[in-house]
Structure formats: structure tokens, C-alpha cells
Structure 1
């Protein structure tokens, strides 16, 4: 068996036991000697680096509830917003690596911030022990009802006819919607002005009012207004169409092959957390992702449940960091 590792701040952590547990699970064989090695003796903290009510919070609470059933101890979600997610992320990076302090990682904190904040006090590839990728939430591109474009092609044509005249809103500088639209601008070769807001709610309110021409966001905040015919969707940023919006084409199939823009969420612990702890947390997280409760909750928000081994998730984080760094550089983005 090949031994997988993930880099930590004080060395390389072997994940052979994780591979054993995941392989056993994949073929339907229990692995009690591996997956049951560690048993928590007190509640576990799961820090979410954003305010309550958003997608990160929803996913964290759904996963925490189900993991607690398997672990036999509460998994307590704590929202610690601020610093574009750096406050909670830094706290977990410096926490004792014993399995009792976990982090809900996000594309913003693990892929965007390192590119826009060169002086981060932690290294996302060295100071954490990845557990698993939990879910992905595709970004959807929408236009205001008064914007004279019914398709992505029409929007691109309109934008090219009036460089810099059209604008789009986002939930803030460096947000998933901001990065998604900048990626679209680069792919389509258009000049559209960015208008940052303090949250998705304010952004959508101005889209409804016609104060901005377009926006990129997750489906939860947009669908009610689409159904009320107050805004129009022109494309989805995921690699494949959404079951809830089967007639909405992807950006990739509309002439921009390889385009993919989604928020993602993952579970991490501090670097040097013992392998047996990571093994158990990975097993319980994967079990939670397969539960009906989590499946139904995430499907409601058009999120796709994922699930990976720790080594695979570590590779994913590094790859995402490299991918989004190119978007940040092309858009010349800087943190507030």
C-alpha cells in the first residue's frame, strides 16, 4: 500500500491509517481497529470563520449535528467572523492539535486569502491537517430585470459594446461572487465594474432594485427572486448543470471550456493532530455526508456533497490555491 502524507508545520504526517479506513469503507468492510481508535472525551469545537446564517454556517451545523451522533460527544459550532475569515482560521492554526478544535475551511480563507494577503500569520498548506472536503456550492450568474440581456452571450455582447459602463455586485472584496465574476470577465474579455457590498443580502437588494446590472451568488439567495421573475439567471459556474435548474446552461458549455467557479467547504484540524484522530474524524464526516439529513439540507441549497481522504483534500487545497491565485493576479485584487 502506498503511504500518503500531508505536510505539517513540524514535519510530515502519515495517513496510511486513513487510507486503510477509507478503503475498507469503500468495499463495505468495517475497520473498527482503525476508525474507532480515538474516542473524544469532551465536546469538540467547530469554528466557522463567518457570521451566522450564511452557507458556511448552514453546512457546519448540518455536519456537526450528524458527526455528534457518531462521536458520542457534541460538536459545538462557534461563529467567529472578521478579518475576511482570518480570525477563526488563525485561532485553529494555533490551537492544541488534539482533535477538540476544528475549522470549517472555505475557498475564501484557503485559496483566495493567501493570494490577496501576503502577510498571513499562517500557511494554509502547512499549519493544518486536512480531514475532508465537505461540499461545493456553485456560483450562479444573474442579471437585473432591466438589463437588456437574456443570455450570457447577450450580456457579453452588451458589455463589449459599452466597456466599463455595466456593473456587477458581490458580497464584498474577495468574496466568492467577486472572484467568480472576475473569472468570467477574464474568460470573456469584458470590462464590467465591480461594486462590493457588505454581504449577500445588500447585494441582492440592489440587484432587485436595478442599481446594479448583474451579480454572482449561490442559489439560496437568488432562487426566490427568479421564481418571482424579478431577476434572470444567465449561467451557472459549475462544471455541470444543477438539478434544481436543469435548463440553465453552464458557462463552460456556452463557449468557455474549463470554466468552473464554486464555493467549497472543508473540515480541518491543526497541524500535527495525531493520525488516529484524523482517521476517526474523517470516518464520521464521511458518514455524516451520507446521511439523509445532510443530503436533504445541502440539496435544498443546491450544494453538492463531496467527501475525500485527507491526502486528497490536501492536494485539492494546494491546487485551488494555485488556480485562484491566477484569478487574483489577473484581476489585480488586494485585500481590504
Structure 2
């Protein structure tokens, strides 16, 4: 997946200028709204506000963020799916709203693949595999060996059933052929104290959540879930290079609109978001999230969503995971 992401960024840089040049000159004709389907302060909200602010600056016209929360992001996403497809209502989508929730939740209020126009993949976020330093585990190979000898003995904490870290843990189990005892929390914050006290032995989660504790020595990072190493911890190998072949997982954020948006408006938005993603100051704004900006084309993002939808869907079906909307 990471190779695809790098390819997206390269082609987006080449095409950005030409795409915007063909867009109708009168767009936007009114206030544009970016719906963030999670609460203020969450990573999704942060990305939505960066995109909205920068688009407003480029256009000289107002772009606002509206938080529509609930049902694991489905309420906000459904509002965009039902909106007029004129480019004035956009979604800051996530791997959940745009790929995995359809496989996890019954009675989804929208069709994930057919009710939206993918516009641009904005950013991806690396996750870390961490253990308590009292554990006799200093590498992915040692984690696999310990889990093989002690099936189900290691507690693995994640930020909720069906969350990106939980699915990343399931993928690890599937590819490494090991088994953890899963402990699901209502988010990362309530899990951290148990992890620091070794009541939870191992965890996978967004790098930004674990980084302060890794740097203080309270946790030990033994792997990065993406295909390339994380700049914040360059000495920590990826899970794949450490021996779990084919392993790759990340959280991600992208901009979508309702289905059947005019192609020229999609091109303008995609080009402008790509240009925003390449701004050094935007990269700096996203650094606290351990996020890497992409800025893909619409076609690239559509292909990316399809790949994510299919591969996580198979894992979810094979594992039998289901969640209730919250």
C-alpha cells in the first residue's frame, strides 16, 4: 500500500496545476462545508480544519467545518452521501467511514463504494507496536516467538473493537500465526494507564499516542505498521522487514463528496487539496499526529479505497468481528 501512496503523491504533484486550470471559474458559488464525522479535537477534526482553512485561503471564500458525530462516523458520512453533489458539502473521511465500517456494522445508512466521489487522500498515519519494558520482548521476532510458546497469554490492548489498531492487531495475528488475548478500550486514553502498569502487555496504536511514552522509556517500540519506517523513530523497523511478510496497516484521512459530482469540480478540489498537502507548513501542522501528507488524484483515491475495502473486508469476515454503532 505504501508504494501506492508514494505513487499518488508523485503524480499528484505533476497534475495539480493542470487539473485546477480546467475547473469552472465560478466554483465555489457559496459557503463550502467540510463535515468531520468525529468530535472536535480528534485527528479527523484536525485534518478537516486544516483542509477547510487552507481551501478558504486559496479561494478567498468561506469554508467551514461541521462536526456530525455518532455511529462510528456513519452519521456524518451519511449526511454527505445525501447532500447535493455540487461540491459545497464535503466529507473528511477515514478508513472506518470509507472502508471498514461497511464490513463491521449492520444496516449502514450509505453504500460505501457507490454513494461518494473520492476526491483526494490527504494523509496517512503510522501505528506502532509497543510492549511494556518489563516484558522479555525486544523485537517483532521475539514477540512472535513468545506468543507462539504462550498462546493467548499476552494481553493486547487496542482502542476498541473494529478500530484501526484492533484490525492491525488482527492482521498481525493472521500473518504471524499467533494469538493474543484482546482487551478493547473505549479509545486510547483509558488504555494508556493499564499499558504503563503492564496490566496490558502489548498494544498497537497511532504513533502520536505512544511516542511520548516510548521516548521516556515507559514503553518499548518494537515495530512500525507501515511499509516504510517512521521518521520519528527511524531506528525502529517495520513489522514487515522484521519478519512478518506482507504486513502493512495505517490509519488514513481523505476528502470525499457525494456521488455524481461534476468532473471539473472534482479536479479543482483534488488539485487544490494536493497543493495544500505539499505545503511545508501543513506537514508541520500534522507532525504531532505522526501523519504523512499525500494529496492524491481522485482516481488514485478511488483505487486506494477499493483496495482497502477489499483487504480489510476479507480480514473482518475471516475473524468474525462485528461492532455495534456508538
- TM-score in terms of structure 1 length: 0.88
Equivalent-residue separation in structure 2 for 1:32 and 1:80 (angstroms): 29
From 165, 169, 187, give the equivalent of 2:175.
187
1:8-67 deviation per Cα after TM superposition (whole angstroms, max 9, x unaligned): xxxxxxxxxxxxxx9896278656651453422332111111122222122222222111
Structure 1 residue 199 corresponds to structure 2 residue 187: yes
Runs of 5+ consecutive residues of structure 1 not aligned to the other structure: 1-21
| RMSD, aligned α-carbons | 2.0
Label 1:29 to 1:81 Cα distance change in 2 as closer, same or farther (>3 A).
closer
- Cα deviation for residue 281 of structure 1 reads 1.2
Task: Please name the residue that 1:305 is paired with.
Answer: 293
1:87 matches 2:75: yes
2:45 maps to 1:57: yes
User: Aligned pair in 2 of structure 1 residues 312, 38: CA closer, same or farther (>3 Å)?
Assistant: farther
Q: Residues 67 and 285 of structure 1 are in contact (CA less than 8 Å); yes or no, is this contact kept in structure 2?
A: yes
Instruction: Tell me by how many angstroms 1:274 deviates.
Output: 1.7
Q: Label 1:148 to 1:105 Cα distance change in 2 as closer, same or farther (>3 A).
A: same
**How many Å apart are 1:287 and its aligned residue?**
1.5
Contact 2:19 2:268 in 1 (8 A): no
Q: Who is 2:6 aligned against?
A: none
Q: Give the match's secondary structure for 2:281.
A: helix
Q: Deviations over 1:169-203 (max 9, x none)?
A: 11111111100111001111111011111111112
State the distance in 1 between where 2:58 and 2:92 align: 19
Question: SS where residue 201 of structure 1 aligns?
Answer: coil
CA distance in 1, matches of 2:98, 2:45: 17
**Contact 1:25–1:31 (CA under 8 A) maintained in structure 2:** no
Give deviations 1:55-82, integer Å, cap 9, x for gaps. Answer: 2122222222111111222221222221
Residues 224-251 of structure 1: CA deviation (Å, up to 9, x unaligned): 1111111111100100111111100001
* Equivalent-residue separation in structure 1 for 2:138 and 2:132 (angstroms): 10
SS at match of 1:200: coil
